[in-house]
Amino acid sequence: MIGAVNTIVVRDDRLVGHNTDTTGFTRAIAPLVAASSHGRVALIGAGGVGKAIAFALADLGVEQLRLFDREPAKAQQLAARLEGRIKTSVTSGIEEALRDAVGVVNGSLVGMLPNLGTPVPDAPCCMPVSGSPMPSIRQCGHRS
C-alpha cells in the first residue's frame, strides 16, 4: 500500500515485503501527535521515507497532511495513495505547507529547510512550528 519496502522476509516459501520505517516512526511520534491534538502536519518529501511517514501519520489520526516535494508529481502520487485515509493537500512551497501546521516532518534527503533557515541534518526529523504545542526537536529522538 505504501509503495516502499525496506525489509523482506521469507514466509511459506514466499518473499514478503514490509516497511519498518512506518512502524518505527509511529512508535517515535505517537506521543507528539497526541500532544498536538492531531492537528495539521507539514511533510517535506514524498519519496520512500516520506511515504512511510505519511501512512504512519494517517494511522495516528492526524487531521491533515500538507505535502511538499521538489518534484510535485511525487507529492500528487502520495496524496492519491492516501485518498480515503487522511485529508491531504499538495503545496507549491514550504511556507504554504507550514501555514497553520502544528508540526513539520522532514522526510527528504535534502537535509535542510532552506526557507526556514533551520538545519535538519538527518531525515526524518520533527520540529515544532512556532507557537505549536509540539515538543522540541530533541524530544523526538533527534541527536543535535
Check which CATH number belongs to the domain holding 40 and give it: 3.40.50.720
Domain presence at residue 74: yes
Q: Which amino acid is at 99?
A: R
Contact by Cβ (8 Å): 79, 50: no
Indicate the Cα dihedral angle 104, 56, 90, 105, nearest 10°: 20
Q: Which of 103, 109, 143 is nearest to 124 (CA)?
A: 109
**Per-residue confidence (pLDDT) for residue 121, from 0 to 100:** 41
Domain that holds residue 74: 7-140
Domain presence at residue 34: yes
Domain presence at residue 93: yes
Residue range 67-84, pLDDT digits in tens: 999 899 999 999 999 999
Low-confidence ranges of the chain (pLDDT < 70): 109-144
Quote the number of domains for the chain.
Answer: 1
Place of cell 532552506: 114
Place of cell 511520534: 29
Give the 3-state secondary structure of residue 63: coil
